Amino acid sequence: MRPVFGFLVAPPLGVLVPFVVLAGLRSANQEVFSPVALIYLATAVSVAYASALIFGVPMFLLLRRLRWLGFWHVLAGSALCAIPFAIFEFQQTRMIYAPSEVSTHWFASALAISLLAGAIFWLVAVRPPNEP
């Protein structure tokens, strides 16, 4: 039951935590919760759930079968789950913008969100109850 709860909690928290932190760093005169930002947030949470379902569930089942459920194993698995989305998003962005405007921030943001979601998943679903 804990893995199911982890899959329900980790993807949105992996997106919401950086959003809230970055919102707190913004100056008071910038509108943080604009409709456009909320649309991006909703899209990111939807993509995080889709990525967790398509890539995360099979990765977790593989790691559990191999008995590789340590913290670093789960983080490595979550990083691998971010790669297909980052490549897809990078290709989509490259088609829209000029090649000089495309940066690797898609890879970095997808990797950071995936690592945070993986850490949250490990804390909620995998970590033995008696560990600190």
**Sequence-distant (≥ 6) Cβ neighbours of residue 118 within 8 angstroms:** 10, 14, 74, 75, 77, 78, 79, 81
CB atoms within 10 A of CB 118: 30
Under a CB-based contact definition with an 8 Å cutoff, are residues 51 and 83 in contact? Answer: no
Q: What is the pLDDT of residues 86-108, one digit of tens each?
A: 777 777 766 666 555 556 666 78
The predicted model scores a pTM of 0.82
Structure tokens at 9: 């909690």
Question: In the predicted model, is pLDDT for residue 129 greater than 80?
Answer: no
Single out the residue of 73, 74, 81 nearest to residue 114, CA to CA: 81
Nearest CA to 77 out of 118, 109, 46, 106 is that of 118
